[in-house]
Amino acid sequence: MFVVEFQQIELDYCGNCHGVWFDQGELELLLAKVMHGDGAKPVINSVLQIEDAASDEKRRRCPICRRTMKKVNVAGDKHVLIDACVQQDGLWFDGGEVDHLIQFLEGNSPEHSGHSHVFNFIKEVFKADS
């Protein structure tokens, strides 16, 4: 894992699997930059309220507390399945899932057009495998 920094937000990125770990609060900071401050709501609290997703994917352990994380679909029919720490330490996105989430947000939020530089950076760094 290594750290990727963008506009004072540090994300942990795995060069092998292309996964991304957002510590508690980091996703909120990132979303706040593209949602005119609306992203500052506690994302992890909302994510943990979503029902466990049925999946054959292996359950991951939180890199901080080492507990088994919850699998959650955060984009409805787009099926962006992420792992959420039940202790609220953070969120894990497998390779390409950040890109899929950004595509989902762009498609559902036309007001983000003024922040395309943020979306473009995220999509370039965390792009889905072709």
pLDDT at site 68: 96
This prediction has a pTM of 0.77
Mean pLDDT, the chain, whole residue set: 77
Q: What is the pLDDT of residues 53-94, one digit of tens each?
A: 888 888 999 999 999 999 998 877 667 889 999 999 999 988
User: Is the model more confident about 46 or about 64?
Assistant: 64
Q: How confident is the model at residue 37 (pLDDT cuts 50, 70, 90)?
A: low
In the chain, where the domains are located: 2-125
User: Is the model more confident about 110 or about 101?
Assistant: 101
Q: Is the pLDDT of residue 23 over 80?
A: yes
CB atoms within 10 A of CB 7: 10
CB-count burial class (<10 Å; 0-12, 13-18, 19+) for 92:
buried
CA distance 36 to 16: 33
**For residues 25-62, b (16+ Cβ closer than 10 Å) or e, as one string?**
ebbbbbbebbbeeebeeebbeebbeeeeeeeeeeebeb
Can you tell me the mean pLDDT for 99-116?
62
